[in-house]
Structure 1
Amino acid sequence: MPAASPPSPMALNIASPTPSMFKKRSSQTLAPMTSAASYLSALSQADARARNSREKTPTSTPALSLSSSITSSSEDTVLNESDLDNNADGLALPARPPTSEQVFTTVHTEFGHCANEAYRLTSQHTPGEPVPAHVEQDPPYYILLSTYISYLILIVIGHIRDFVGKRFSPKSYTHLMPRNGYAPLNSDFDSFYTRRLKTRMDECFSQPVTGVAGRTILLLDRISPDYNHTQILTGTRTRALNISSYNYLGFAQARGGCADAVEESIKRCGVSTCGARLTGGSSDLHTVAEALVAQFVGMEDALISSMGFATNSAYIPALVGKGCLVISDELNHASIRFGTRLSGAHVRMFKHNDMGSLESLLREVISQGQPKTHRPWKKILLIVEGLYSMEGTLLNLPGILELKKKYKFYLWVDEAHSIGALGPHGRGVCDYFGINPRSVDILMGTFTKSFGAAGGYIAGDKTMIDHLRVHGHLGPYGEAMTPPVLTQIVASMASIMGIANPGAPSSTSGAVVPIDTPASHPGPAKQSDLPAWLNLPPQLSSGAEGRSRLRRLAFNSRYLHRGLIKLGFITYGHPASPIVPLLLFNPGKMCMFHRMMKDRQTPIIVVVVAYPATPLVTSRVRFCVSAAHTKEDVDTVLRACDEVGDVLDLKHGIKKRERWDIEKIVNSAAELAAV
């Protein structure tokens, strides 16, 4: 085990200077602050004082704990929800502004504090450099052979169990066998993988949690007495470092300026749409959110819906139909595949992010036209993702736009994972490459990843958006978004953009920007365009914290990606991607990796992914980096991976002589991430 950093107090306690995050709190806690806004303001002041001070102070949030993470739910600890409700983030802060020493030595469960400017980067493509292609690196042959043999053994044993079980325990197979003239409820063949392979690994999936999925997450411990067929909660909870949630900018917080704004919206509008004043079928807040989204992404107009999956599946059929062609990347999300099937359009796929494969396909389909009749296509729509969630691959947008000029097709970019996570201003792939967003026909995205909310949006020119409002399925049939969710979207997006002073000149987002003009930043949101009662703290309204979060995310993403490669692991994806897949290959290693990370002294919760979400032999663990993580958090993950990787034989990337020692990686983090 590596040497861990000293334990840090979860509550500031005068009587006990070194309480653990997971131990009981002394009754002599100091009085909490009156509001989250006052705490954030005091935090920013202390942060500024710390940077200007010549005294040496810690530069980031310390490690989580040195003690056991399992505690009883009946104990008076910070894991109790009552404590979290009574004290912001489980912190008991003095009534006066905290000193920089108090701020820096406090463990933040939702958002880790890090004031070291060396751990900041700008997410931006270097002009002139090629976009890295997706490269599938193969492990040694013995790894592939053992993986295939593992699946073969599981399949053979599974069929033997089915054969014997149907004859000696037919009651357990009633759902798979015809009886009383009825057909079986489930297909024996189709459910085989779920019953005989996935069930063996179910402890890795769908883990119950409680509270906010921020920098740390609170797991509800469970056991299975029947080999994962059922799960029983033990009543204990585990506080773990969360490297598994799509909380890219750290806005999944129960305390803070955005949370205060949501609370205010509930007081004014209620928790359902019927509590808000409606105008023309939608609330005023809904209209404000749509206008802000259009300004944020740099488009003329936008519409929002209450579900990200349905944004693709319900609006694609409104744009294409019979006689149209949809060209789709082979690794596109299921929502895109579902929407294209519903549309009735002809569908062709090209090799993942391969511009050569795409151009060859375009030449073929344009020259051949529609099947049988060979008439020209009514419309050709290319659908791609900005950032692919399983591979971490970044879209080659410059290459696609070159093909778009040449072959004249329409372009739909799904930015579910890239919006808010990429670009110097968080505007997604267009911002990352410095490309005018008006050169893309349709920008789609979701609010569940970077904004801590729910739902999705589609942005484009006003004519197209008006068409989708009328002909899209979500218009007449979908649910409207509730005021609290809309407020979270507006508050978090305004925090990234910043809010201009009243009377400031209007941004250029309302005007039509010609495609050939150079890309420009849409500028801050106008106070007059936001709800009058929305009052964000100065750090958020100025955009300073939003910019800091973007730069922290960029550093954390590149640092983890480069660090894993230097340790010798096989990883996929672009260095700027906050999604970092680490290849495990063998299905048996998925459970072991998950358990070994979770059972560490500082527990780490990860997401393992297997077939059918990935190809059968490329099982992986998928790290999801957040701006809420500190540099020490990423160090903790790298140290854990280094140890677990040696035990499970996972280091099959670069040659052994080219690998770095973990201490060299940790000490050279800033230089390594900047490469």
Structure 2
Amino acid sequence: MDAKARSRADTPTSTAPPSSSSSISSASDDGDSDDDGLSNPSSGSLSSPSHEYHTLHSEFGHCSNPEYRRTSAHTPGSVFNAGEEQDPPYYILISVYITFLFLICIGHTRDFFGKRLRSGNYKHLMASGGYAALNSDFDSFYTRRLKQRIEDLFARPVTGVPGRTITLLDRVFSRGYHTNTLTGTHTRALNISSYNYLGFAQGSGGCADAVEEGIRQYGISTCGARLEGGSVDLHTRVEALVASFVGMEDALISSMGFATNSTIIPALVSKNSLVISDELNHASIRVGVRFSGASVRTFKHNDMASLEALLREVISQGQPRTHRPWSKILVIVEGLYSMEGTLVNLPGIMKLKNKYKFYLFVDEAHSIGALGPHGRGVADYFAVPPRSIDILMGTFTKSFGAAGGYVAGSKALIDRLRVRGHSGCYAEAMSPPVMTQVVASMASIMGVRDSDASSTSTSVDVNAMQRHPGPAPQHLLPSWLDLPPYLKDGSEGRERLRRLAFNARYLSLGLRRLGFITYGHIDSPIIPLLLFNLGKMPAFSRMMLARNTPIVVVVVAYPATSLTTARVRFCVSASHTKEDVDCLLRACDEVGGVLDLKHAEGERWSVEEVVRRAGELVNGGGDR
């Protein structure tokens, strides 16, 4: 595959890609042709004949142009602007309500007459045999009348790694989309739907080689919970590395990201505590709060005025009925909201924290590794010392290409959570291959320094270390782990962070210049494009997949969003090249024109102008 790519190179315009690997997986060479433009670079990618490709272009795109790089950081001294959400014309909103009206009326009419007129299998399925029905007709209405009719958009079976491209297993559906059958063929598509923000989910490369060695050292499982024989020395090393990465005293890791919140929050708050939660917080946070038994109040999404008004009320009034002071008040927010693409207003929350003295819990599931000049999340992005935040939570399933999650804080807090958190005694311990992937990818972002050399340093800037910790000490990594030089020196991680920052801002601003209404911050790697009408949702997804260069996207509608804000959610990665984003913008421009999606106010450019002026657009896009 690499030799084929080199033979196609026209001009030596760029250097070897930063994502190197000591091995190439032959399984990735599936014989796909180059007609879709996904297998090989469209232009030369070698600065000299001595350079070689080290990773498949389909997993991590080759792009060495320094113009397509940017540092993800909030402009110092500027006021944080979450951005205004534009509304579409009234005829779009009216069409949305009419669509739902037709869906409800026709669906319930068919249910009513179907129960009474159909015979045979339908009546057999409706028979309960004396038992109560597990699901009512009303509860399953949207599943039967809406989702089932667009089942081809969801749960698409895939094979291989979710890198720059992804391979879909083709399937055909029966009448009514009740069942589907695999055809035996597959489709390689541009992947704009995975949380692989830094592109570390690769089947080859330094991280993959490290995981292979980790399996030789530890096997594939520890076969137990952390408090009952499931801990190995690698768990301790990973927790120390995570604490160093996020700038906290200590950390605790969990084998599941969702369970990190749902099992840790009950150990933080209890009956006489109050949790103040953003109205758009993730389901894992809501479940954890319910398990805790604490009272909960919500404030408007990212609205500091709403939060302060609520704080003044709950502090002055105390607990219901008794009006006694709350034992503790915990404010929970997310660093990056996955459905909206918005960043938390961390500077505003820190001002309120200093004023009202509450505890702060920041869920960085999507922001850790993806934001900030050093990849340390929203604290790094806003240059806020991480230890001024009480609890930092995050997951390894996105930027690190692994699984599980962590919670970091003071050593006293983490020691308590090890014993009182439900994951310690009930959940299986994180498996060694997953931990090795975490260590390798995290060390690639941090870089690794010689412990002996660092110990000779006579002056240490403590504030700087807390704000963005430097390279990881060698002693935090397993002795058997030998990372390649390009990972060990941190150059690989820095390049990936800068590529992701450019791609995110380019796609966000490019879509707005084309006239689309998008949500979220311009530095967010999650870009929701508003479709509004749910009837346009399957049309958009199918038209994108049917293009000459197939594109896989995620579409979302009610009840996951509000009734009128059906959307397609793009997730960009450092593995994407500028040409990939160009391809996506051209596809959106064409499909959006057909589906009447361009309703944004403001200056508009043609798609070719957006592609030509990408550098100007990204560097002069302003801070939002």
The alignment's TM-score, normalised by the length of structure 1, stands at 0.84
For each residue in 1:84-131, what CA deviation from the matched residue of structure 2 results, as whole angstroms up to 9, or x when unmatched? xxxxx999xxxxx99559857996011001111011000000112121
Identity %: 68
Q: Which residue of the partner structure matches residue 611 of structure 2?
A: 666
Residues 1:137 and 2:86 aligned together: yes
Question: Which of 101, 112, 130 is the aligned partner of 2:61?
Answer: 112
Q: 1:80 to 1:185 in 2, by over 3 A?
A: farther
Aligned 8 A contact 1:199 1:228 in 2: yes
Question: Which of 417, 433, 453 is the aligned partner of 2:402?
Answer: 453
Counterpart of 1:199 in structure 2: which amino acid?
A: Q
Q: Which residue of the partner structure matches residue 567 of structure 2?
A: 620
Q: How does 1:85-234 map to 2 (within 5 A)?
A: 99-100=48-49, 103=52, 108-169=57-118, 179-234=128-183
Residues 1:537 and 2:488 aligned together: no
Residues 1:399 and 2:390 aligned together: no
Q: 1:178 to 1:627 in 2, by over 3 A?
A: same
Q: 1:175 to 1:355 in 2, by over 3 A?
A: farther
Is the partner of 1:608 in helix, strand or coil?
Answer: strand
Q: Which residue of the partner structure matches residue 310 of structure 2?
A: 361
Counterpart of 2:404 in structure 1: which amino acid?
A: G
Q: Which residue of the partner structure matches residue 67 of structure 1?
A: none
Q: Which residue of the partner structure matches residue 13 of structure 2?
A: 57
For each residue in 1:594-641, what CA deviation from the matched residue of structure 2 results, as whole angstroms up to 9, or x when unmatched? 111111111111111112221121010000010000000000000100
Is the partner of 2:587 in helix, strand or coil?
Answer: helix
Displacement of 1:588 after TM fit? 1.1
Aligned 8 A contact 1:434 1:519 in 2: no
Residues 1:569 and 2:525 aligned together: no
Displacement of 1:77 after TM fit? 9.3
1:256 and 1:17 map into 2 onto residues whose CA distance is: 22
Displacement of 1:479 after TM fit? 0.6
Residues 1:239 and 2:184 aligned together: no
Aligned 8 A contact 1:58 1:104 in 2: no
Question: Which of 594, 601, 607 is the aligned partner of 1:654?
Answer: 601
Question: Which of 322, 335, 359 is the aligned partner of 2:284?
Answer: 335
Residues 1:527 and 2:474 aligned together: yes
Question: Which of 576, 582, 586 is the aligned partner of 1:639?
Answer: 586
Displacement of 1:133 after TM fit? 2.2
Q: How many residues are matched?
A: 600
Q: Which residue of the partner structure matches residue 78 of structure 1?
A: 29
Q: 1:236 to 1:397 in 2, by over 3 A?
A: same
Aligned 8 A contact 1:278 1:284 in 2: no
For each residue in 1:262-285, what CA deviation from the matched residue of structure 2 results, as whole angstroms up to 9, or x when unmatched? 000111111111599999751111
For each residue in 1:573-609, what CA deviation from the matched residue of structure 2 results, as whole angstroms up to 9, or x when unmatched? 0011000000001111111111111111111111111
Q: 1:384 to 1:513 in 2, by over 3 A?
A: farther
Q: How does 1:406-485 map to 2 (within 5 A)?
A: 406-485=355-434
Residues 1:252 and 2:198 aligned together: no
Counterpart of 2:608 in structure 1: which amino acid?
A: E
Aligned 8 A contact 1:302 1:457 in 2: yes
Q: 1:368 to 1:502 in 2, by over 3 A?
A: closer
Is the partner of 1:664 in helix, strand or coil?
Answer: helix
Aligned 8 A contact 1:309 1:335 in 2: yes
Residues 1:548 and 2:495 aligned together: yes
Counterpart of 2:250 in structure 1: which amino acid?
A: D
For each residue in 1:433-456, what CA deviation from the matched residue of structure 2 results, as whole angstroms up to 9, or x when unmatched? 111000100000000000000000
Is the partner of 2:528 in helix, strand or coil?
Answer: strand
Counterpart of 2:177 in structure 1: which amino acid?
A: N
2:418 and 2:113 map into 1 onto residues whose CA distance is: 56
Q: How does 1:472-511 map to 2 (within 5 A)?
A: 472-505=421-454
Aligned 8 A contact 1:421 1:553 in 2: yes
Residues 1:12 and 2:30 aligned together: no
Is the partner of 1:273 in helix, strand or coil?
Answer: coil
1:176 and 1:406 map into 2 onto residues whose CA distance is: 61
Q: 1:196 to 1:238 in 2, by over 3 A?
A: same
Q: Which residue of the partner structure matches residue 22 of structure 2?
A: none
2:124 and 2:319 map into 1 onto residues whose CA distance is: 44
Q: Which residue of the partner structure matches residue 376 of structure 1?
A: 325
Q: Which runs of no fewer than 5 residues in structure 1 stay unpaired?
A: 1-9, 20-49, 62-75, 84-88, 92-96
Aligned 8 A contact 1:416 1:446 in 2: yes
Aligned 8 A contact 1:269 1:275 in 2: no
2:604 and 2:496 map into 1 onto residues whose CA distance is: 30
Counterpart of 1:79 in structure 2: which amino acid?
A: D
Displacement of 1:164 after TM fit? 1.5
Displacement of 1:227 after TM fit? 2.0
Q: Which shows bigger deviation, 606-615 or 204-213?
A: 606-615
Is the partner of 1:238 in helix, strand or coil?
Answer: strand
2:83 and 2:108 map into 1 onto residues whose CA distance is: 37
1:385 and 1:276 map into 2 onto residues whose CA distance is: 28
Is the partner of 2:392 in helix, strand or coil?
Answer: strand
For each residue in 1:271-313, what CA deviation from the matched residue of structure 2 results, as whole angstroms up to 9, or x when unmatched? 1115999997511111100000000000000000000000001
1:518 and 1:536 map into 2 onto residues whose CA distance is: 24
Residues 1:268 and 2:217 aligned together: yes
Aligned 8 A contact 2:225 2:427 in 1: no
Structural RMSD (CA)? 2.9
Displacement of 1:321 after TM fit? 1.0
Counterpart of 1:659 in structure 2: which amino acid?
A: R
1:109 and 1:541 map into 2 onto residues whose CA distance is: 24
Aligned 8 A contact 2:224 2:230 in 1: no
